[in-house]
Amino acid sequence: MKRQNNRYTVLPKKITGFTLIELLVASALSIIVLIAAGSGFVTTQKLSQVAKGRLQVQNDLRNATNMIVRDARMAGSFGCFNLAKTATNDQTKLKDHGDANELGALEYNNQNQGVKYLDGTALLGSKFTVSTSSPKVLLFTYGIGSSSGYSSSGANSFSVQIEKGGELAELDEQTKAPIIISTCSSLERFPSSTKKLNGSELTVKDLSPNLSSDHDTQVNPKLQSEISVFRQVVNVYAIGTPTGGEEGLYLFQLNLTTGKLGEPQLLLAGVTSWELEFGYVQSPGCKSMQNDTKIKFVNNIESNKTALSPALLRMKLKGSGGSGEVKSGKAANNSESDVQTYYINATIRGGNSCAERNFQEDAN
C-alpha cells in the first residue's frame, strides 16, 4: 500500500503595530482628556476660592451687624436710667463731671443721647484717615456691669460688691477709666478716680467733685438698694484707612488704661462709604397695644438739649467692588467674590418707649 504524505507549509505570521494615524488619534484624545481634566481642576479651584471669599465676607458682615445692632440696642442705657429720659422728663438728674469736649462725655458735641454722629477727623486723630465720602463716625455709649451692696464711705468715695471676673472687675487700678453711678432718675459720670479691687469688693476713691446727695448713702441710707455702678462703654464705628492698613469699616473702643480710643479693629475690608439714616417717632405715645407709628428718617442726629433719641438706625454699606459691592479684602481681586450692597437695620431702645409698637412707612 502506498503511503500518502501530507505536507503543510507554515508561513511566519507578520507582526503589525499601530499605524501613524492611530497614534496621532490616540495622542490627540489623550491631550483632550488632559486639557479637560486640567480645566476642570482650575475651574473647581476658582469656584472654591470664590466661595471662600464670599463666605469670608458674609461672616464679617454678620459679625459687624451683630456688634452694631447690640450697641444700638444698648445705646444710652445705664441700668434703669436711659439718656433718652433727659429730653422728656424734667425730673431726671444728669451730672457729667468731665469736660464736655472729651471722649465719652454724655453730651458731647451737644448731642445728649446714647448714639452720636460726629466729625471723625477731629475725634480719631492723624493715624486714621477717615473716608472723604463718609467723614462722620458713629458713636455709641452705654453702661455695663453688675453690682450690689453700694455704700458711700465719704463725700468722695464708695464701695460696691461686684461679680468676680465681670466687667467692673476690669476697672481695678484703672484711674482714667470713667465710672457711672445711677438710679432710675439720676446719673453721675466721673471721668477719673482711684479704683481698687479686693476680692469681690470694688472701692472707688478720690471722686471729684463730691458725690451728689442722690448717690450718698450717708445722707440718705434708703438709696442703697436703688444705686447701681457701671463701667462706661464707648464704641466708635468709622470708614477709613489706618496708617499701613487697608480701607474698610473699623471699630474703636475706649481704652480703660488711657481713657482714650484704642487701636482700630478691622471689621470689614473693602468698605469705602456708608449712608446713615436715623428714624424718629412722629406719633409719640402708646394709645394701644398695637400702635402703628410713623417714622421720619433724616440723615443726621438732632442736636439740642431737648432732642429726642432716634428709634431706628438704617445703614447702607458700599464697597470697592464692581457696582459698589463689598469685597472680601485684598485677597479678592475679582468681582465674583463681591457681595451686593449691604443694609443694616437696628433698633435704638431709648427712642421707642412702647413695649409693643409697629413701625409703618416713612412719614412725609
Q: Hey, what long-range contacts does 293-297 have (CB within 8 A, 24 or more apart)?
A: 293/354, 293/357, 293/358, 293/359, 293/360, 294/359, 294/360, 294/361, 294/362, 294/363, 295/359, 295/360, 295/362, 295/363, 296/362, 296/363, 297/362
The model's pLDDT over 155-184, given as tens digits with 9 standing for 90+, comes to: 899 999 999 889 999 999 999 999 999 999
Is pLDDT of 295 > 50?
Answer: yes
CB atoms within 10 A of CB 105: 19
- What percent of the chain has pLDDT above 90? 38
The model's pLDDT over 234-248, given as tens digits with 9 standing for 90+, comes to: 999 999 999 889 999
Q: State pTM to two decimals.
A: 0.81
Phi, psi of 118 (to 5 degrees): -125, 165
Residue 187: which of 214, 208, 168, 161 has the closest Cα?
Answer: 214
Residue 85: which of 355, 351, 361 has the closest Cα?
Answer: 351
Domain ranges of the chain: 54-362
pLDDT at residue 286, as a whole number: 61
Higher pLDDT, 356 or 134: 134
169 contacts 155 by C-beta, under 8 angstroms: no
Higher pLDDT, 89 or 256: 256
End-to-end Cα, the chain, rounded Å = 133
Phi, psi of 35 (to 5 degrees): -65, -45
